[in-house]
Amino acid sequence: MISVTLPDGTVNEYAAGITAGEIVMDIEGRKHDCVAASVDGIHKDFSTILDSDCSVEGISGFTDDGIHILRHSAAHLLAQAITSLYPDAKPTIGPAIDRGFYYDFADLPDFSESDLKSVQKKMHEIARRNHTVERVECSESELSEMFSSNPYKMEIINDKLEDGAGSTIYRQGDWYDLCLGPHVHSTAKLMHVRLTSVSSAFWRGDQNREQLTRIYGIVEPTKESLKATMSAIEEAKKRDHRKLGKDLQLFHVDEDVGQGLILWTPRGATVRTCLQNFISEHLTRQGYHQVYTPHIGKLDLYRTSGHFPYYQDSQYPPLVEKDMMAKLANEGCSCGELSNMMAAGDIEGYMLKPMNCPHHIKIYSSQARSYRDLPLRLAEFGTVYRWEQSGEISGMTRVRGFTQDDAHLFVTEDQIAEEVLGCIELVQVIFKALGMTDYRVRVGLRDPDSTKYVGASEKWDKAEEACRKAASSLDVNWSEEPGEAAFYGPKIDFVVKDVIGREWQLGTVQVDYNLPERFDLKYKGSDGELHRPVMIHRAPFGSMERFCGVLIEHFAGKFPTWLAPTQIHVLTISEKQVEYGRKVTAKMKEAGIRVELDDGDDTIGKKIRMRRKFQPAYMLILGDDEVENNSVSIRARNGDQRAGVDFDTFLSELVEEIESKSATPSLVPPQNE
RNA sequence: GCCACCAUGGCUUAGCGGUAUAGCACCUCAUUGGUAAUGAGGAGGUCGCGAGUUCAAUUCUCGCUGGUGGCUCCA
């Protein structure tokens, strides 16, 4: 007999040799939703035989751990279906991921989304067969024999397994895969599966290696949860900033202008301006100086900074000076030669700036600086250009021209900690005001084994400690990531997820020992000696483009009143109220409200329907009653109403809501019916 | 950049080897209507661009541009 501790703390006696699954069934009953067992805290298959004392717990398919196992098993099911339909296809790897699972296949050419249906059908068919999923221990030679026709699996076996060590396979029906497990005990657990998309991936993420076909899917424990997940995905798609950007007329990208180059249309520009003004207020409060610098600079400047020619791949090509061009033409220089000269950095001209720092540095060094000038904080909504790969460009979140809410702080060694903290505070103030709580923070530290870093290691220790401290002052999850520091200093990154679960880096705070060195920056200390300042780069929101894109999704286009492109739409019921409507509109404009009047001859129902798509904070309905009482009827975004409000009262309440930057419109109390 | 898919008036979309649907938006007229579509009429497209096949291409083929999903990269 063995003693098994159950989740509620009781200890039961079982015959040795009982399986984990049998105990889970004993605890949870016959109709449980567990997919595997946790034995002494380690995830195990139900088939695991227990012959000594331990604790056992069922892992529900509704838990993070449980769904992970389901996904992994579903990946196997997918591979089984694919190999049965496409015998030449070779499964490579197929893990569970955050939002589902995928499997990469070699030799599955021309597979497209339209083929998913038949594969999914096959998966359901196999699932229904109720195959037992069986774990089998194999020796290295057995494995080599079983996977001899699959070079990818062989590569894993050769690379990952220690010499002579065996591993396990999981078998279901006539199919098996190299895997450590654990897995569900039967394919029947995998009925609620959907394949979602097809794309490609490189074997082992290496673009020099084979291109594989990757199939993505999701799986859920029950029919209901699958349905819920599917509709959540549908809902998320409606929030996509690319769709809302079009619907709400916030921005436009035109192929004649260029890929990844955002045209801010009036409504979007309004949102951006409001944000920039908001940020500017805080910059002033924190002692920043705002500056303006041009969009280009001489190549020499970027030679000094190190951007040119070393980061050519991610920059627009240089603008070659006219005289230089003419000279080269006279000399019969070919395009190939010109291109080689550019690559070598051996050319004169200008560059579209990929970063603002060199310009800001030149502002710093335009005067002799003393310790009394520090910290010097130079801020700019600075537009930069980077040559992102064409396949990477997406909406507003990945673009080729963007405006950073950039600043460079020139500080003494001793000021680093406090200034980093100041940067973090700014981020927090603004994230809080916008109700953005769903972000994570990465602290990039140096890799202790590498020598690529500039600056003395004592300095690094101090700066890294400052970053840790600053991060922990935040109310959010943060992680230390050794090896993720830039070569010139440690950094703090702010990362958010978009509606489809992709992560985007927004803000960053970076300590930099390198550029002050390269530009030979100095300040005179209290000791009368010249010292080297340290720079802090910070862009709390990254870029206005990406930030607004994320913000559109965050609010699902329903901006708080202070940010709404149009705050108020005034709708008249009939011609009789047009004059009053105009008066009210004019008064609001005078008060600085962004207001639009619809005095057309559509019915009120039609006007509401038409205006709704712009998601104004409020609509005002004006009929005879309102004209008579000098009042307005307020209609909130959700349809709730507040009628007969004196116009002046409404206006002062509205101004108050806007000035307080209230995150949610609150002029109409919620109505529960 | 790589792989797959996609591209029809402002938006959503039907369709096909014989130059093309429909809805909304837009314009005109009638209607003066209380909180998610009043009715009638009208205008608007060289079917992303360029080649090729064909008697004929929006429809087939190739190239380009742009988009979508991934991969890769990101000072």
The residue out of A45, A60, A75 marking a domain boundary is A60
At A621, the pLDDT band (50, 70, 90 cuts) reads very high
Domain residue limits at A319: 297-349
Distance B70 C1' – A211 CA (angstroms): 12
Across all strands, nucleotide nearest A606 (CA–C1'):
B37
Looking at the fold, whether A413 and A504 belong to one and the same domain comes out as yes
At A447, the pLDDT band (50, 70, 90 cuts) reads confident
Looking at the fold, whether A170 and A122 belong to one and the same domain comes out as yes
At A653, the pLDDT band (50, 70, 90 cuts) reads very high
Looking at the fold, whether A231 and A134 belong to one and the same domain comes out as yes
Tokens of A632: 């307005």
Across all strands, nucleotide nearest A355 (CA–C1'):
B75
Q: Which of residues 270-329 of A touch strand B (CB under 7 A)?
A: 307, 311, 313-315
- C-alpha–C-alpha distance, residues A361 and A94, integer Å: 49
Q: What is the pLDDT of residue A509?
A: 92
Q: Which of residues 540-569 of A touch strand B (CB under 7 A)?
A: none
Looking at the fold, whether A447 and A517 belong to one and the same domain comes out as yes
Q: What is the pLDDT of residue A4?
A: 82
Active-site pick, A189, A272, A369, A408: A408
Check pLDDT > 70 for residue A274.
Answer: yes
The residue out of A38, A60, A82 marking a domain boundary is A60
Looking at the fold, whether A207 and A107 belong to one and the same domain comes out as yes
Of A494, A491, A505, nearest in space to A546 by CA: A505
Across all strands, nucleotide nearest A357 (CA–C1'):
B75
Q: Are the C-beta atoms of residues A116 and A214 closer than 8 Å to each other?
A: no
pLDDT digits (tens, 9 = 90+) for A289-339: 999 999 999 999 999 998 888 888 889 988 988 888 888 888 888 877 888
pLDDT averaged over every residue in chain A = 89
Q: What is the CATH number of the domain that holds A624?
A: 3.40.50.800
Distance B47 C1' – A258 CA (angstroms): 23
Residues shown for chain A: 673
Looking at the fold, whether A517 and A648 belong to one and the same domain comes out as no
Dihedral (CA of A298, A303, A307, A312) sign:
positive
- C-alpha–C-alpha distance, residues A421 and A540, integer Å: 12
Closest protein CA to C1' of nucleotide B38, residue: A603
Task: Determine, yes or no, domain membership for A247.
Answer: no
Q: What would the DSSP string read from start to end of A40-97? A: TTEEE-TT-EE-S-EEEEEEETTSHHHHHHHHHHHHHHHHHHHHHH-TT-EE----EE
Q: Give yes or no: A491 in active site.
A: yes
Q: What is the pLDDT of residue A61?
A: 87
Distance B45 C1' – A182 CA (angstroms): 58
Task: Determine, yes or no, domain membership for A668.
Answer: no
Closest protein CA to C1' of nucleotide B31, residue: A601
Averaged pLDDT, A4-33: 84
At A500, the pLDDT band (50, 70, 90 cuts) reads low
Looking at the fold, whether A399 and A288 belong to one and the same domain comes out as yes
Q: Give yes or no: A121 in active site.
A: no
Averaged pLDDT, A30-42: 84
pLDDT digits (tens, 9 = 90+) for A465-497: 888 988 888 878 888 888 888 888 889 998 887
Distance B38 C1' – A267 CA (angstroms): 31
Please give the helix or strand (H or E) that residue A622 lies within, else none. Answer: strand A618-622
- C-alpha–C-alpha distance, residues A240 and A232, integer Å: 13
- Measured between its terminal Cα atoms, the distance across chain A in Å is 61
Distance B72 C1' – A476 CA (angstroms): 30
Looking at the fold, whether A421 and A315 belong to one and the same domain comes out as no
Distance B53 C1' – A83 CA (angstroms): 38
Q: What is the pLDDT of residue A499?
A: 67
Averaged pLDDT, A560-570: 95
Q: Give yes or no: A172 in active site.
A: no
For strand B, the positions having any atom within 7 A of a protein Cβ are: 1-5, 11-12, 25-26, 30-38, 65-75
Q: Is the CB of A391 under 7 A from strand B?
A: yes
Averaged pLDDT, A147-167: 82
Q: Are the C-beta atoms of residues A620 and A570 closer than 8 Å to each other?
A: yes
Averaged pLDDT, A71-85: 93
Which residue has tokens 């082992």?
A204
Q: What is the pLDDT of residue A592?
A: 96
Q: What is the pLDDT of residue A14?
A: 84
At A673, the pLDDT band (50, 70, 90 cuts) reads low
Check pLDDT > 90 for residue A598.
Answer: yes
pLDDT digits (tens, 9 = 90+) for A244-272: 999 999 999 998 899 999 999 999 999 99
Q: What would the DSSP string read from start to end of A467-499? A: HHHHHHTSSS-EEEEET-SBTTB-EEEEEEE-T
Q: What is the CATH number of the domain that holds A207?
A: 3.30.980.10
Q: Give yes or no: A408 in active site.
A: yes
Q: What is the pLDDT of residue A671?
A: 78
Q: Give yes or no: A124 in active site.
A: no
Q: Which of residues 53-92 of A touch strand B (CB under 7 A)?
A: none
The residue out of A60, A82, A100 marking a domain boundary is A60
Closest protein CA to C1' of nucleotide B67, residue: A394
Averaged pLDDT, A624-639: 94
Averaged pLDDT, A412-418: 92
At A44, the pLDDT band (50, 70, 90 cuts) reads confident
Distance B71 C1' – A200 CA (angstroms): 6
Q: What is the CATH number of the domain that holds A51?
A: 3.10.20.30
Task: Determine, yes or no, domain membership for A230.
Answer: yes
At A155, the pLDDT band (50, 70, 90 cuts) reads confident
Across all strands, nucleotide nearest A399 (CA–C1'):
B74
Q: Which of residues 597-656 of A touch strand B (CB under 7 A)?
A: 601-606, 608-610, 612, 619, 621-626, 633, 635, 639, 641, 643
| Neighbour order of strands in the sheet with A175-178 | A133-138, A167-172, A175-178
pLDDT digits (tens, 9 = 90+) for A111-142: 888 788 889 999 999 999 999 898 888 888 88
Instruction: Give the single-character DSSP code of A132.
Output: B
Looking at the fold, whether A322 and A400 belong to one and the same domain comes out as no
Check pLDDT > 90 for residue A524.
Answer: yes
Q: Are the C-beta atoms of residues A345 and A320 closer than 8 Å to each other?
A: no
Distance B18 C1' – A22 CA (angstroms): 71
Q: Is the CB of A213 under 7 A from strand B?
A: yes
Q: What is the CATH number of the domain that holds A424?
A: 3.30.930.10
The three state secondary structure string of A306-339 is CCCCCCHHHCCCCEECHHHHHHHHHCCCCHHHHH
Cis omega (within 30 of 0) on the bond before A358? no
Averaged pLDDT, A608-628: 94
Task: Determine, yes or no, domain membership for A544.
Answer: yes
Task: Determine, yes or no, domain membership for A258.
Answer: no
Looking at the fold, whether A124 and A181 belong to one and the same domain comes out as yes
Averaged pLDDT, A226-254: 89
Counting the structural domains of chain A, the total is: 5
Closest protein CA to C1' of nucleotide B69, residue: A199
Task: Determine, yes or no, domain membership for A561.
Answer: no
Across all strands, nucleotide nearest A620 (CA–C1'):
B35
Q: What is the pLDDT of residue A672?
A: 67
Least confident of A160-164, A308-312, A545-549: A160-164
Task: Determine, yes or no, domain membership for A665.
Answer: no
Distance B37 C1' – A568 CA (angstroms): 21
Task: Determine, yes or no, domain membership for A545.
Answer: yes
Share of chain A above pLDDT 90, in %: 49
Looking at the fold, whether A311 and A381 belong to one and the same domain comes out as no
Distance B54 C1' – A145 CA (angstroms): 55
Q: Which of residues 476-505 of A touch strand B (CB under 7 A)?
A: 486, 500, 502
Q: Are the C-beta atoms of residues A438 and A431 closer than 8 Å to each other?
A: no
Active-site pick, A179, A274, A357, A548: A357
Looking at the fold, whether A358 and A326 belong to one and the same domain comes out as no
